[in-house]
């Protein structure tokens, strides 16, 4: 129970460019995990961020894959997962949300709630995940803080409690006021935000506070604090843990303002590992004595010197011990867990024990798939991972015959990561499968990685289809001659038949003409509910 209480497992989520990866880096800096914070847009004399370890991520300044970072802080073990913000990589983010116990939601102070933030929040709300909110980029002109609180409350239908308050914004941003400690934290900017920001503490009534702020900004802060004390929502720890209230923090991740307060409060208030739901609908508590966990991510080639494949596993119950034998629930086989690692981005070390809440990597098991359960006891199987219907399709063809073996090896390995799905088309003359993804950037990442990690050139050939449906055998058969001429039949990786349409109107037209056919949005919907 002591080890359980020490664990904090979280994801950082946001709309693209809200500052999620920068905040991740600063949490590592203040958590003592790195001595020098990196920059998303690192120049020659700057260090790149820890979580964006792929060369493509550093070139583009965006996250394309979730990253696991484990470090110790204030007597706790923090398992921090940085996630992609771009919609095209949302499938990876949604799977990560299955493996965490709380999230930090990053909001741009000038833009407020954005579309991807809202989608990710809805997933958190559906799963009851506690949300801590960090309003970022106060070093730039921002919306009024009270307006931001109202927006969070009304848009997300959440109770809000401001844990701190900004002392100005834009060029006048000087720091934050800690409402619980009743102290104003003034910060000094460091070059590139690479080091911890020097700070000084004052009572809000201290003349030094007024002297360091614009008089109008100081008056606005005093007035807002009086209003919050009189009419604001009181902090409710139970409501935070059930996801009904979000503590809100203001700051600037790039300049390190407010990061320490966020980290300290998060470790103090975030919940330890929570029960996980099984396929039978039961909640299995983390103190269950037998080890169990599920695989939520597969990553290839993290070590450039070895083409290894790592299955990331969330420990849910019991204790993981290296060399233990567990049941691979999907296949019914017993496997030995001899090659286990804990991770700090791409850096790794052998782990001998892990506890509920920890995320570990298992190397050398190509039979593992996303969503698989590993357990000491038979009968434990966790609910399946969320599935997504592709919205973009293309063929990736090799361009150099001499590189075909490397090309095919790279394609097969990277498809196991689950970001891109493969479909076969019986009778097709193409030697490569049809690929489907949530967004076109996934194809670019796949093509880039095959080139840089396997040394094989390729050509991306777009396919015309935009809508996919799985054919339910409970309905009438789908005959090729009955489909619109631009539609096509194919098989998914498990040989389940699908129909591909170029547009929604084609799907509607077909269903109107053939109402006895049952087409499903996702394979998990088969024989359950119609479109």
Q: Is residue 96 part of a domain?
A: no
User: Strand locations in 427-516, DSSP E?
Assistant: 434-437, 458-462, 467-471, 488-491, 497-501
Q: Are 467 and 354 part of one and the same domain?
A: no
Q: Are 32 and 141 part of one and the same domain?
A: yes
- The sign of the torsion formed by the CA atoms of 443, 445, 450, 451 equals positive
In this prediction, residue 380 carries a pLDDT of 96
d(CA 251, CA 136): 5
Q: Is residue 387 part of a domain?
A: no
* pLDDT bucket at 47, cuts 50 / 70 / 90: very low
SS3 for 265? helix
d(CA 418, CA 66): 13
Domain boundary residue, one of 273, 300, 331: 273
* pLDDT bucket at 44, cuts 50 / 70 / 90: very low
Q: Are 181 and 206 part of one and the same domain?
A: yes
d(CA 338, CA 352): 9
Nearest 5°: the CA angle 440, 443, 445 is 115
pTM of the model: 0.87
Q: Is residue 336 part of a domain?
A: yes
* pLDDT bucket at 66, cuts 50 / 70 / 90: low
CB 37 within 8 Å of CB 195: yes
In this prediction, residue 369 carries a pLDDT of 93
Residues 6 or more apart whose Cβ sits within 8 Å of residue 306: none
Q: Are 249 and 293 part of one and the same domain?
A: no
Domain boundary residue, one of 240, 273, 306: 273
Q: Report pLDDT digits (tens) over 132-149.
A: 999 999 999 999 999 999
Q: Are 267 and 354 part of one and the same domain?
A: no
Q: Is residue 13 part of a domain?
A: yes
Q: Are 191 and 54 part of one and the same domain?
A: yes
Domain boundary residue, one of 273, 304, 334: 273
**pLDDT at 119 > cutoff 90:** no
Rounded to the nearest angstrom, the gap between the alpha carbon of residue 241 and the centroid of all alpha carbons in its chain is 20
Token pair in block for residue 213: 């702020």
* pLDDT bucket at 529, cuts 50 / 70 / 90: very low
- Classify residue 423 by its DSSP letter: E
Exposure string of 72-87, with b = 16+ CB inside 10 Å and e = fewer, is ebeebbbbbbbbbbbb
**pLDDT at 471 > cutoff 90:** yes
User: What's the count of helices (H) and strands (E) in the chain, helices before strands?
Assistant: 13, 31
Q: Are 261 and 357 part of one and the same domain?
A: no
Token pair in block for residue 209: 């506070």
Give the residue numbers spanning the domain of 478. Answer: 392-525
Q: Is residue 381 part of a domain?
A: no
* pLDDT bucket at 46, cuts 50 / 70 / 90: very low
Q: Is 374 left (phi over 0), alpha (psi -120 to 50) or beta?
A: beta
* pLDDT bucket at 55, cuts 50 / 70 / 90: low
Q: What is the CATH number of the domain that holds 485?
A: 3.30.70.3280
Q: What is the CATH number of the domain that holds 220?
A: 3.40.50.300
- Domain tally, the chain: 3
- Classify residue 466 by its DSSP letter: -
What element of type H or E holds 81?
Answer: strand 76-82
SS3 for 216? helix
In this prediction, residue 306 carries a pLDDT of 65
Q: Are 464 and 477 part of one and the same domain?
A: yes
* pLDDT bucket at 393, cuts 50 / 70 / 90: very high
CB 204 within 8 Å of CB 178: no
CB 436 within 8 Å of CB 396: no
- Classify residue 168 by its DSSP letter: -
Q: Are 268 and 281 part of one and the same domain?
A: no
User: In this structure, which long-range contacts are made by residues 433-437, counting pairs with CB atoms below 8 Å and at least 24 apart in sequence?
Assistant: 433/395, 434/393, 434/394, 434/395, 434/463, 434/490, 435/393, 435/394, 435/395, 435/396, 436/390, 436/392, 436/393, 436/468, 437/88, 437/390, 437/391, 437/392
Q: Are 269 and 326 part of one and the same domain?
A: no
d(CA 128, CA 115): 20
SS3 for 244? coil
Q: What is the mean pLDDT of the chain?
A: 89
Which is nearest to 246 in space by CA: 140, 162, 148, 339? 162
* pLDDT bucket at 296, cuts 50 / 70 / 90: very high
**pLDDT at 61 > cutoff 60:** no
Count how many Cα atoms sit within 13 Å of the Cα of residue 497 in the half-sphere of its side chain: 16
Q: Is residue 126 part of a domain?
A: yes
- If you average pLDDT over residues 489-513, what whole number do you get? 95
Q: Are 242 and 289 part of one and the same domain?
A: no
Q: Is residue 382 part of a domain?
A: no
Rounded to the nearest angstrom, the gap between the alpha carbon of residue 104 and the centroid of all alpha carbons in its chain is 11
- If you average pLDDT over residues 196-213, what whole number do you get? 87
**pLDDT at 530 > cutoff 90:** no
Q: Is residue 410 part of a domain?
A: yes
Q: Are 326 and 411 part of one and the same domain?
A: no
d(CA 458, CA 383): 37
Share of the chain above pLDDT 70, in %: 92
């Amino acid at each position: 129970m002591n080890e359980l209480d020490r664990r904090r497992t979280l994801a950082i989520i946001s709309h693209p460019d809200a500052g999620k990866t920068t905040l991740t880096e600063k949490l590592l800096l203040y958590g003592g995990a790195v001595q020098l914070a990196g920059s998303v847009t690192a120049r020659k004399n700057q260090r790149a961020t820890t979580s964006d370890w792929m060369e493509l991520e550093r070139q583009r300044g965006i996250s394309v894959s979730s990253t696991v970072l484990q470090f110790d802080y204030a007597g706790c073990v923090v398992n921090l997962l940085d996630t992609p913000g771009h919609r095209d990589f949302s499938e990876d983010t949604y799977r990560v949300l299955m493996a965490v116990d709380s999230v930090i939601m990053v909001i741009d102070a000038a833009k407020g709630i954005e579309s991807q933030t809202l989608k990710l929040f809805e997933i958190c709300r559906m799963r009851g995940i506690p949300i801590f909110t960090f309003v970022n980029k106060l070093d730039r002109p921002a919306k009024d803080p009270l307006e931001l609180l109202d927006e969070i409350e009304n848009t997300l239908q959440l109770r809000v409690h401001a844990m701190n308050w900004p002392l100005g914004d834009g060029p006048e941003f000087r720091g934050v006021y800690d409402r619980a400690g009743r102290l104003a934290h003034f910060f000094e900017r460091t070059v590139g935000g690479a080091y911890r920001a020097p700070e000084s503490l004052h009572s809000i009534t201290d003349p030094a506070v007024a002297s360091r702020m614009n008089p109008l900004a100081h008056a606005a802060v005093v007035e807002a604090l009086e209003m919050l004390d009189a009419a604001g929502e009181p902090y409710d720890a139970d409501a935070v843990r059930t996801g009904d209230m979000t503590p809100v923090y203001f700051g600037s991740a790039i300049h390190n303002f407010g990061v320490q307060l966020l980290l300290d409060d998060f470790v103090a208030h975030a919940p330890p590992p929570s029960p996980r739901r099984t396929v039978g609908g039961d909640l299995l508590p983390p103190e269950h004595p037998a080890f169990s966990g599920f695989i939520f991510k597969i990553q290839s080639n993290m070590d450039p010197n070895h083409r290894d494949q790592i299955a990331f596993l969330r420990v849910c119950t019991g204790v993981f011990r290296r060399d233990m034998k567990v049941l691979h629930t999907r296949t019914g086989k017993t496997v030995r867990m001899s090659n286990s690692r804990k991770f700090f981005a791409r850096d790794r070390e052998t782990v001998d024990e892990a506890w509920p809440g920890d995320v570990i990597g298992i190397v050398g098991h190509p039979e593992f798939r996303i969503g698989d359960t590993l357990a000491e006891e038979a009968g434990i199987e966790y609910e399946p991972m969320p599935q997504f219907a592709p919205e973009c399709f293309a063929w990736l063809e090799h361009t150099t015959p001499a590189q075909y073996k490397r090309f095919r090896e790279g394609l097969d390995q990277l498809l196991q990561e689950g970001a891109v799905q493969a479909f076969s088309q019986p009778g097709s003359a193409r030697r490569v499968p049809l690929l489907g993804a949530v967004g076109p950037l996934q194809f670019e990442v796949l093509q880039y990685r095959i080139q840089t990690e396997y040394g094989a050139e390729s050509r991306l050939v777009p396919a015309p289809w935009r809508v996919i449906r799985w054919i339910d055998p409970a309905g009438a058969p789908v005959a090729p001659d009955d489909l619109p001429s631009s539609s096509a039949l194919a098989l998914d990786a498990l040989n389940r038949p699908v129909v591909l349409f170029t547009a929604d109107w084609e799907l509607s037209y077909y269903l109107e003409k053939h109402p006895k056919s049952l087409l499903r949005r996702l394979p998990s919907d088969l024989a359950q509910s119609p479109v």
